[in-house]
Amino acid sequence: MKLIRFGPPGHERSGLLLGDGTRIDATGFGESWGETFFETDGKTFGRQEQDTNKDGKPDRWIQFRAGKRTTQLDDRNADGRPDSTLFYDAAESPTQLEEDTNLDGENDKWITYRDGKTAVIEQDRDFDEQKDLRAELEPDGTKRLEQQDTDQDGKYDVAIHFEKGQRVRLEEDTNADGKVDVVTHTRGEEILRREADTDHDGRLESVAFFEKGKERRQTRSFRSAASVLAHQAGSPSGSAYSASTCGTTSWIGPFTSGVASRWSITSTNRLPSSRSSLRSRPLRTWRGISSP
């Protein structure tokens, strides 16, 4: 018995040639063979072709090395071209999956596996050949971290942290300088506290506290007495401030930008809402990534 391929050029089918000259069509067995079906020793598989949807055309190609699976290519839209590639390690466990989800010929989704489980998912959501969404998963499949490039500049500017599958912290770079300047602490969708670096000096000097989704109190730290005086000079008429060395300023209502440290001011007067730096910032709504 011999393995053969027969049929018109470009549409050959796998078959068997028996000792008496009889040909048997073997395409119905789900695997195909060609010049690379066996490695050079003539015994070890080099490649397999499979027709997984039973339409008479191969749509899966599996490559082997030394008898072990190394890659698997799949054609999911039956156009004769692979649109996903799955890579395997020496133990034949999956390590990486690359997919062209919109069938434009460019990969736009990547999955990294660890110990056979999904560990990292990356996507190019707008198909501009730049990754703009990334998620790290725990071994049980729940998210640990999600990163987003919201302004499409090729850099992640939002990081969402999770614990036991629940959102606990949202970090944002709002001015694209590569530094986090707003940190929102949450319990799921509920905002607990929001910290901001309103003057972009690398310090989160402004803090807003929330209860039941509503802002209740804000504080700001100042670096020096000069900062306190500068803040007082820009305050509304009639405000009463007192300086101390507590390091923070506290009031009910919004506040202006300032710089922080050993001096503090306290006011019971409400500053104009037009000068608010945190009150108007809602919890960012994101289009997240989910486990496969």
For residue 249, what pLDDT is reported?
43
Give CA–CA dist 25/16, Å, rounded. Answer: 7
Three-state secondary structure call for residue 226: helix
Q: Is the pTM of this model over 0.85?
A: no
Backbone angles phi, psi at 230, to 5 degrees: -65, -40
Exposure string of 234-254, with b = 16+ CB inside 10 Å and e = fewer, is: ebeeeeebeeeeeebbbbebb
For residue 8, what pLDDT is reported?
74
| pLDDT tens-digit readout, 250-281 | 443 333 333 333 333 333 233 333 333 444 44
Q: pLDDT exceeding 90 applies to what percent of the chain?
A: 45
| pLDDT tens-digit readout, 35-47 | 555 554 545 557 7
Strands 249-251 and 214-220: antiparallel
